[in-house]
A = this chain, B = another copy of it.
Amino acid sequence: MERTSKVMPVSQAIQRFMPDTCDTLAVGGMHMHNNPMALIREVIRQQKKVKRLVTSPSACINADLMIGSGLVEEILTAYVGFEHLGLAPNFRKAVEKKTIKLLEADEPFLVYGLQAGAGGLPFIPYPKGLELTDIPKVNPDLYRFTTDPYTGEEVMTAAPIKPSVALIHCQEADPYGNAIFKGSEFTDRQMIFASDVVILQVETIVPNLAEKYGSTKVNVPGFLISAVVEAPFGCHPTSSHGYYTFDEAHLKSYLKSCKNPEAYGEYFQQYVTGISEKEYSGKIGLDKLNAMRQKGDVSFYD
């Protein structure tokens, strides 16, 4: 008998593994790095609806583009922004105009919640002092309180997060879904462990990944992965650690386009809905993309 490859085109992966209305969708990547943009653009093309979007502790265009597409009903996040480039325009607008429901969280909530989801833990109690922000007051469904049975004190808790689907970028995977993060993992590996279905996009498929890097570097086990999509430059305009840096000019042009609906519609038409994911890198220009490849000694991360 032959082992079954999990490699498939992006359109098939989203069609097959993402329901038309997704209860909880987790998107990987942090700030302008490792955002699984090839998968996200395809989700928008296929107009899959998302009841709850969960992000890493710092989301960027991954969340902002999905919110801009109008497919997201509510968002659980601790930050959506563009770091030194400014606020996230669609997130900001949607919250201010109340077209999205915001589940306000802090960074540890997302980390604790994903860990609880991954490990079957009923919740995670917070360290003392973190209950002092105003967040538990505005998110009483998810932030609750119980008794520390060792001290008798009241402690705040984070609810488990169990995404139905996670969209994650890894730099490399083998055909069975075993995968590596060349640089930072952020909370992406936790999302993989906590989610029912994981769709992975990678820069390159490497048949003998563990031989290339050593098995201890391959810390995403294939049995957690449903589909592997080869998507070179699939994080653009964000970076892929160890492969290429982020496209600051493109991000700025995105931010600018958000200032009026026509320009945003044009951006959408040009880069998302008007083209297939296959055409995307051609649209950006392969010369330009290659120029963003990590200039330094990337072997440093190997």
Contacts and interface: CB of A to CB of B under 8 A. Distances in A.
Interface of A: 119-128, 144-151, 153, 155, 157, 159, 181-184, 211, 214-217, 299-302
A266 to B, nearest CB: 39
A24 to B, nearest CB: 15
A125 B127 contact: no
Nearest to A122: B148
Main secondary structure of the interface of A (DSSP, over half): loop
A188 to B, nearest CB: 13
7 contacts: A122-B128, A122-B148, A124-B124, A181-B216, A183-B216, A184-B216, A216-B301
A122 B144 contact: no
Contacts of A216: 181-184, 301
B126 A150 contact: no
A93 B181 CA distance: 47
Given A215-B301, A217-B217, A301-B215, A146 B144 contact: no
Residue among A121, A125, A216, A217 with the most chain B CB within 10 A?
A216
A170 to B, nearest CB: 13
- Chain B CB count within 10 A is highest, among A145, A151, A157, A214, for A214
Nearest to A184: B216
Top 5 A-B residue pairs of the complex, sorted by shortest distance between their CB atoms? A120-B127, A144-B149, A122-B148, A146-B149, A214-B301
B155 A215 contact: no
Contacts of A120: 127-128
A147 B123 CA distance: 10
B214 A302 contact: yes
A68 to B, nearest CB: 32
B148 A147 contact: no
Contacts of A155: 122
Contacts of A215: 300-301
A122 B146 CA distance: 11
A46 B72 CA distance: 64
Contacts of A302: 214
Contacts of A150: 122-123, 144, 157, 159
A120 B156 CA distance: 13
A51 B151 CA distance: 22
Given A183-B216, A301-B216, A122 B151 contact: yes
Contacts of A214: 299-302
Nearest to A147: B146
A153 to B, nearest CB: 8
Contacts of A144: 149-150
Contacts of A126: 121
A289 to B, nearest CB: 24
A128 B121 CA distance: 8
